[in-house]
Each structure stands twice: as C-alpha cells, then as structure tokens.
Amino acid sequence: MLLGLPQVKTGRLRGVAVTSLKRSSVIPDTPTVDESGVKGYDSNAWYAYLVPAKTPPEIVAKLNSAASSVIRSPEIRERLIQQGAEPAGGAPEELDRIVREDIAKWGAVVRRLGLTAD
C-alpha cells in the first residue's frame, strides 16, 4: 500500500519516490528510490496467509488455490491496485523464498545497527 496515495492523487502531496525497485502502476510518474540515486534500494511490504509448518500439503494447496482465486478476481484486484498494492499471489514455495530473503536482508540490518528486542 502506498501511504499518502489519496493526497498524491489529489495533488495535495507530491510523491518523491516509491521504495520498490519497480515503479508503481498507480503513480507511474513517481520514480523509485533506486532511480533517485540510492542504488539497489528495495523495501516492500507484503501480506500472506500462513499456516502451521506441519499442515498437510493438500490443505496448503487448497488454501492457496482459494486465496489466489480471490486475488485474481477483477473486483478485488482493482481495489488493491487503487490502494497502491501490486497483487501477486503465487506458490507457497515462492512465499518461502520471499520470507527467507527478507529475514536475511533485515536480519543483516538489525545486526549492523546493533538493535535488540528489549
């Protein structure tokens, strides 16, 4: 979701940059942070349905199919796009890859900054 999107669309705010590596389809004239000079900058929010690790594969497949059908529906897809989301959906293995990459990326940031949870 793009924070401030309604204000950018009405002209009350000017979008400086989006944080993904790809420009937003909703505000395509707004450059990315990468294009603005911070090379490789990529920060995205994502949402997913998660189930316990030992959930049977056939249940995972059924839930994934149902969720994907909702995301692909024209009405839901359009509503998400208008809010600045880039609806994707995909295989559970793709989500696993994304989660692992984010843990590695943001874990390195936490360690580099010496952050703790207390």
Domains and CATH numbers, the chain: 1-45 (3.40.190.10), 47-118 (no CATH)
Look-up of token digits 């940059």: 17
In the predicted structure, residue 88 carries a pLDDT above the cut 90: no
Q: What is the pLDDT of residue 75?
A: 95
How does residue 1 score in pLDDT terms, banded at 50, 70 and 90? low
Q: What is the pLDDT of residue 2?
A: 72
Predicted model pTM = 0.77
- What is the sign, positive or negative, of the torsion defined by CA atoms of 118, 1, 66, 68? negative
